[in-house]
Structure 1
Amino acid sequence: MNLNHAEVIASFRNALEAVNGPLPGEVVADGEIHRYRTDKDKRGSLNGWYVLYLDGIPSGAFGNWKTGQQETWCAVDREQMTFEERATMARHAENVRQQQEQARKDRERRQKAVAMKVKTWWHWARPADPAHGYLQAKHVEPYGLRQDNEDGALLVPLTVNGESWVNLQRIWPNGSKRFVAGGRVRGCYSPIAGDKGGTNGPLYICEGWATGATIRALTGHPVACAMNCGNLRPVAELLRQRYPARPLIIAGDNDHHTEGNPGKTAAQETAQAVGAEWMVPSFPGGLPGTDYNDRYLLELEGRL
């Protein structure tokens, strides 16, 4: 079957971009997995991936490491293929599976190396200074955070079990943030212990750490900070499995100035998935802000 390569690549690119958004650069059709930065990735992240074969029946696959989404693609209807063409497709699929398995092993190896590194950083760091610029700007306490001795960055620990740290988010006094490259983020959270409710009381799940610190200060209950709205559900599912009968409250962001309000949508969908309650802050009159810390600061300023 003769197919125009330019048309094949254009069709593949259209299918890929419909899922992952714009693909930077050209499509490389060499049968190898290629990673790239999607328009939703933060700096240094390469969560988009694809692989395209042009031999036999052009076929490929693409997806997103962060969301776990994966799609297969073929230039023609599979029902129209010959036996030989189906065999070629099967070989392609097996090659993709093997490459993904190797990529998974490489990713886990990098994550283990980062986990060892951040444990060392955490051990040698000093307790966070309550006068740190970020804490002062957000009007929250450190709640057990540590601070880098060299550049003064706050160290926000991430865990999957509430104890062992697997990554860190570094927050500088000017508010800039960055995870340790190569470390695990999906399904991880930063815990803030509470002093009310014991082990049976409500457990809040929110996005950012400052939001979690605000909720902890106002309620006294423990909080799990998922760090972003896309991570709310993985964290909530993990905690629901660990605490099947405990009340969970998804305290989402209210992205009322963003089309589709992704923070509120994620909170609602997560709550429905794990049998939790959900809530988001209100910002009447078009006031700026998205999370509970933003609303708290507006209240301190007397604007609410």
Structure 2
Amino acid sequence: MNDLLSIDELRLALTHIPADDRETWVNIGNAVKTEYGDDGWFAWDEWSQGGESYNAKDAQSVWRSLQVGNNRMGTIIHHAQQNGWKRERQDMTAADRKRMKAEQEERRKARQAEIEADEKRREAMRDAVAMACRHFIKKHCVREGQSAYLNAKQVGAFGVWFPRCSVVISIDDQAQRADVWPGMEVKRFFEELPQPRPDHISFMRIQQGDVVVPLRDANGKVVSIQLIKPNGTKLFPKYGRKAGTWHRIGDASEADVVAVAEGYATAASIHMATGWPVAVALDAGNLQRVVPLLGQLYQQARLVICGDDDPQVKDNPGRKKAEEIAQAMHAVAVFPQLSQEAA
């Protein structure tokens, strides 16, 4: 456990860390907010101003969105020491050390309470969004519809839905609720939306021609949606569950082979070519969460991971992730092969 730095020590340590790398910038912000709460905002913002791309509005927005608990004091000290910082030794009495330890423990308890309260709030919002998604599908979607995206990909509509009218799903962090505004109510939503739009209000606008992909948990319950626009843009509602969820194409309950792919179009193509049931895992990061769940649900089946292969992308993460998961799960990893003409 690293001793908490005073605010002045924190400001000094931060001066040794370059503020230009966004991932480092966010991680340091998370650590500062975790350890100091909003008392650390000034020190983090002061340090952030040393970055070439600093934007005051962006910094304020990122600070508000940071979830405490992902990084701690060790992250700050590690980066500072990597860049030459050394903490000045201070002569302290036993009483001083005892007082600082007590203050540090008090801060940690306060931060832990914030973490637990924030997670409780986020879980409530995830439930509200899940309920709104289910209501939207039940009341305002149909099984058959037109999609420029599906036509362009030359794949069918397997288990997806189509909106029967324009719909807005609004999400209000402050009121902790999610609402569905169909048809003519869409106009009323935008008329009543405060301008400029408050940060605590977000929304997803759904229109005819979009494809609605229901995302289910391991119990088969719809907990969120993926929206695919005619041009292929993919959207998710704020707070919509994604980790460990997938879309099901075909019935895998008694299948000998169950395939899993990242995107809907790829999965639909595999299903059309093989007849296999296919799980749509959405991306490489979620693939590693979905495959173990599929292994538990369909123990009778051979799992085939149909990975993305993008050699032009740095480190080819789709292929790398698929091979790692296949090895860990004793599954088979396969990748597309293009003909010379297609290549």
Please say whether Structure 1 and Structure 2 have the same fold, judged by a TM-score greater than 0.5: yes
- Residue 306 of structure 2 is matched in structure 1 by 251
How many angstroms apart in 2 are the aligned matches of 1:201 and 1:233?
21
Q: 1:4 Cα deviation (Å)? A: 4.0
Alignment map for 1:259-298 (pairs within 5 Å): 259-283=314-338
Counterpart pick for 1:139 among 151, 154, 160: 154
| TM alignment of 1:1-304, pairs within 5 A | 4-10=9-15, 20-23=23-26, 30-32=36-38, 49=66, 62-63=70-71, 72-73=74-75, 75=77, 82-124=97-139, 125-129=141-145, 131-150=146-165, 151-152=207-208, 153-161=210-218, 163-194=220-251, 199-283=254-338, 303=342
**How far apart in 2 are the matches of 1:221 and 1:145?**
17
Q: Please say if residues 29 and 63 of structure 2, whose CA atoms lie closer than 8 Å, have aligned partners that are also in contact.
A: no
Assess, with a 3 A threshold, how the Cα gap between structure 1 residues 258 and 74 changes in structure 2: closer, same or farther. closer
Residue equivalent to 1:290: none
Q: Deviations over 1:123-155 (max 9, x none)?
A: 1211132x4201100000101311012221111
Partner SS, residue 168 of structure 1? strand
User: Post-superposition shift, 1:254?
Assistant: 0.9
Determine if contact 1:62/1:72 at 8 Å carries over to the other structure: no
More helix by share: 2
Aligned equivalents of 2:132, 2:320: Cα separation in 1: 35
User: 1:207 offset after TM fit, Å?
Assistant: 0.6
Write the distance in 2 (CA, Å) between the matches of 1:220 and 1:102.
46
C-alpha distance in 1 between matches for 2:115 and 2:104: 16
* Alpha-carbon distance between aligned partners in 2 of 1:46 and 1:144, rounded to the nearest angstrom: 39
Change (3 A) 1:4 1:72: closer
Q: Which structure is higher in RCO with an 8 Å CA cutoff and minimum separation 6?
A: 2
Q: Is the 8 A contact 2:214 2:247 kept in 1?
A: yes
Asked whether the equivalents of residues 206 and 223 of structure 1 are also in contact (C-alpha less than 8 Å), the reply is yes
Q: Which amino acid aligns with 1:99?
A: E
1:72 positional shift: 4.3
**2:246–2:281 Cα contact (<8 Å) kept:** yes
Which amino acid counterpart does residue 128 of structure 1 have in structure 2? E
CA displacement at 1:281 relative to structure 2: 1.7
Q: Give per-residue Cα distances to partners, 1:16-44, cap 9 Å, x unaligned.
A: 969x355399887642499xxxxxxxxx9
Q: Distance in 1 between matches of 2:338 and 2:217?
A: 33
Aligned equivalents of 1:243, 1:47: Cα separation in 2? 42
Aligned sequence identity (%): 27
Give the C-alpha shift of residue 221 in structure 1: 0.8
CA 71–182 in structure 1, closer or farther in 2 if over 3 Å, else same:
farther
Residue pair 1:156, 1:168 contacting (<8 A) in 2 also: yes
Amino acid across the alignment from 1:179: F
CA positional deviation for 1:109? 0.7
Unaligned stretches of 5+ in structure 2? 42-60, 78-85, 166-206
Change (3 A) 1:164 1:86: same
Q: CA, structure 1 residues 85+247, in 2 after alignment: closer, same or farther (shift >3 Å)?
A: farther
Q: For residues 13 and 257 of structure 1, do their structure 2 counterparts lie closer, same or farther at Cα, with a shift above 3 Å needed? A: same
Which 10-residue stretch deviates more, 153-162 or 239-248?
A: 239-248
Structure-2 residue corresponding to 1:37: none
- The normalised TM-score by structure 1 is 0.71
2:329 maps to amino acid:
V
CA gap of 1:108–1:240, structure 2 versus 1, over 3 A, is same
Deviations 1:236-269 (A, max 9, x none): 1222232345311111111211111111111112
Equivalent residue of 2:75, what SS? strand
- Once the two structures are overlaid, the 10-residue window that deviates more, 23-32 or 109-118, is 23-32
User: Rg bigger for which structure?
Assistant: 2
